Amino acid sequence: MFSKIQTRPPVLNEQEQVQAEIFKQVFIPRALIEIEDPLDHQSAVDTDDVFFYKSVTGINADLTASTNIPYGLTEQEMHEIFGKPLNEEEDDIIEEDDGDRNVDDASSTPPHHHHQHDPNDTSFKHDRKEWKQFVKQQNRERRQNKTPKKVKKQILKHTTRKP
């Protein structure tokens, strides 16, 4: 090992310098907040809230092996995408679930998030006017609490004075 160190060139070539800098930027944390806690990582893996981890790794929910169905897809969606046959009993269960889900989706989406609107639809115009009034009211309140620029400059000038 000592001989390897002695035979190593003292100066890195340009490509090795670039690779060293990339390694430093990617793997060496600059602040304490960048250091990941392994316990937090493990608890994130154990929760069902982490869709990203399970979908990227492709593991089962119990972390034992890989899964054949991508995480987050239902059997019905799997059938539509890959064309795999389903049992008739599963079809009935999925149809019941789809009916419930469609009702929830329709009631949970606000009307102002739709992309295409009827130009003669007065409810859309009414919602838009309400939202505009709400934003204006918020801006009025923000201006009431705003510190004037002259006062800010004076405070900055007094705090940066050298004794």
Q: pLDDT by residue (tens digit) across 58-67? A: 666 666 666 6
Alpha-carbon gap, residue 23 to 90, rounded angstroms: 50
62 and 83 belong to one structural domain? no
Confirm whether 33 is domain-assigned.
yes
Q: In this structure, which amino acid lies at residue 26?
A: V
Q: Which domain holds residue 103?
A: 74-108
Read off the pLDDT band of 108 (50, 70, 90).
very low
Confirm whether 158 is domain-assigned.
yes
* Arithmetic mean of pLDDT, 20-39: 74
| DSSP state at residue 33 | G
Alpha-carbon gap, residue 31 to 8, rounded angstroms: 32
Confirm whether 141 is domain-assigned.
yes
pLDDT per position as a tens digit, 135-150: 999 999 988 988 889 9
Total length of the chain = 163
Confirm whether 116 is domain-assigned.
no
Alpha-carbon gap, residue 111 to 102, rounded angstroms: 16
Question: Tokens representing 156?
Answer: 């900055």
11 and 50 belong to one structural domain? yes
Overall pTM surpassing 0.85 (yes/no): no
The predicted structure's pLDDT at residue 150: 92
Q: How far is CA 90 from the centre of its chain?
A: 32
Q: Dihedral, CA atoms, 109, 115, 117, 119, nearest 10 degrees?
A: 140
Average model confidence (pLDDT) across the chain: 69
Question: Tokens representing 64?
Answer: 């034992």
